[in-house]
């Protein structure tokens, strides 16, 4: 039986393997950093002037960046599913199966490595945001909590994508299937525009959308909700940190065991 210590050790080895792969394939890190910069500049300067509904004196840059953070980490989670599907396609999973290692180590190592990529993306976005006018108006502990909450949400989503990667098997299909779900979640939310501009049905969906909650939580923790900003009506957005943490726990409780079980079934074929 695999011990906890062995699982941690094996997971660390797989994490290191995945990070070395990023180092040896620089295209991965280039596109992981260029996409966030593109989104920040695109929405800040191309669409920013056309966005309506913000209270007077509220900076769109400060409203925008937490939304960009959330969108990028959710989109970045598709890397987990695509990478696992690629390893399956190349037969690498069978090689791991032949080794005396923890069965869950491959999935843990993959999700932790992608957490590192998401952290790099957030750093790049934060630096870009500072250039275009975004500021952190809260305390250092609150700002750190904001970044950690974003990464926790990204980690939870990565496990869902890991399950998709094990079930779908090809990276191309993983990407297509993921975007069908992820794009509505990230755009039908408070990521780029205030919810007051939404039609009633979409507004209700957006208010309870977990992406809206993590964006609202980030705005609160970064101090990007100044006085005069409309108070939300939904409980989910009145308590966004708690609501986000509940979603993180729910995703992990559901998708960690499902992904591990799918991995074991895949490995037994």
Q: 164-186, pLDDT tens digit by residue?
A: 998 887 888 888 888 888 888 88
pLDDT reading at 267 higher than 60: no
Whether 120 and 159 have beta carbons less than 8 Å apart is answered as no
Residue 259 is assigned to a structural domain of this protein? no
Count of other CB atoms within 10 angstroms of residue 141: 9
Beta strands in the chain (DSSP E): none
* pLDDT on residue 48: 66
Burial annotation 72-101 (CB, 10 A radius, 16+ → b, else e): bbbbbbbbbbbbbbbbbeeeebeebbeeeb
How far are the Cα atoms of 9, 16, 118 from residue 108, in angstroms, in the given order?
11, 11, 15
Residue 155 banded pLDDT, cuts 50, 70, 90: very high
* Tens of pLDDT, residues 75-122: 888 889 888 888 888 888 778 877 778 878 889 999 999 999 899 889
Residue 55 banded pLDDT, cuts 50, 70, 90: low
Residue 263 is assigned to a structural domain of this protein? no
Residue 268 is assigned to a structural domain of this protein? no
* pLDDT on residue 102: 84
- Out of 125-134, 166-175, 205-214, the most confident range is 205-214
* pLDDT on residue 268: 46
Residue 27 is assigned to a structural domain of this protein? yes
**Whole domain around residue 177: which residue ranges?**
4-242
Which stretch of DSSP H or E encloses residue 45?
none
Residue 261 is assigned to a structural domain of this protein? no
* pLDDT on residue 269: 44
Query: What 8-state DSSP symbol labels residue 113?
Result: H
Q: Which two tokens stand for residue 82?
A: 């695509």
Number of domains in the chain: 1
Residue 155 is assigned to a structural domain of this protein? yes
Non-local CB neighbours of 97 within 8 Å, separated by 6+ positions: 267
* Tens of pLDDT, residues 2-43: 678 888 888 898 888 888 877 777 666 776 778 778 888 888
pLDDT reading at 1 higher than 80: no
Query: What 8-state DSSP symbol labels residue 198?
Result: S
- pTM, two decimal places: 0.90
Residue 257 is assigned to a structural domain of this protein? no
- Out of 36-50, 116-130, 137-151, 214-228, the most confident range is 137-151
Whether 265 and 163 have beta carbons less than 8 Å apart is answered as no
Q: Quote the mean pLDDT of the chain.
A: 86
Whether 54 and 63 have beta carbons less than 8 Å apart is answered as yes
pLDDT reading at 226 higher than 80: no
How far are the Cα atoms of 32, 99, 110, 165, 197 from residue 87, in angstroms, in the given order?
20, 15, 11, 10, 44
Average pLDDT over residues 220-227: 87
How far are the Cα atoms of 47, 100, 150, 189, 223 from residue 119, in angstroms, in the given order?
26, 31, 9, 22, 20
């Amino acid at each position: 039986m695999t011990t906890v210590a062995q699982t941690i050790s094996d997971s660390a080895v797989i994490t290191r393997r995945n990070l070395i792969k990023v180092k040896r394939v620089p295209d991965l890190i280039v596109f992981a950093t260029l996409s966030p910069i593109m989104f920040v500049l695109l929405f800040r300067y191309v669409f920013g002037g056309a966005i309506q509904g913000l209270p007077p004196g509220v900076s769109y840059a400060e409203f925008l960046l937490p939304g960009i953070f959330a969108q990028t980490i959710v989109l970045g989670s598709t890397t987990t599913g695509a990478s696992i599907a690629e390893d399956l396609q190349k037969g690498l999973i069978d090689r791991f199966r032949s080794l005396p290692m923890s069965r869950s180590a491959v999935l843990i190592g993959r999700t932790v490595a992608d957490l590192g990529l998401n952290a790099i993306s957030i750093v790049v976005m934060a630096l870009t945001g500072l250039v275009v006018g975004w500021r952190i108006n809260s305390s250092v502990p609150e700002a750190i909590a904001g970044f950690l909450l974003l990464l926790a949400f990204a980690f939870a989503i990565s496990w869902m994508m890991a399950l998709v990667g094990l079930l779908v098997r090809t990276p191309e299909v993983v990407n297509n299937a993921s975007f069908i779900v992820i794009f509505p979640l990230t755009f039908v939310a408070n990521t780029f525009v205030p919810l007051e501009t939404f039609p009633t049905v979409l507004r209700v969906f957006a208010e309870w959308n977990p992406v809206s909650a993590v964006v609202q939580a980030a705005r609160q923790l970064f101090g990007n909700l100044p006085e005069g900003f409309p108070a939300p009506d939904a409980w989910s957005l009145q308590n966004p940190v708690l609501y986000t943490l509940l979603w993180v726990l729910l995703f992990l409780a559901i998708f960690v065991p499902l992904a591990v079980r799918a991995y074991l079934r895949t490995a037994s074929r």
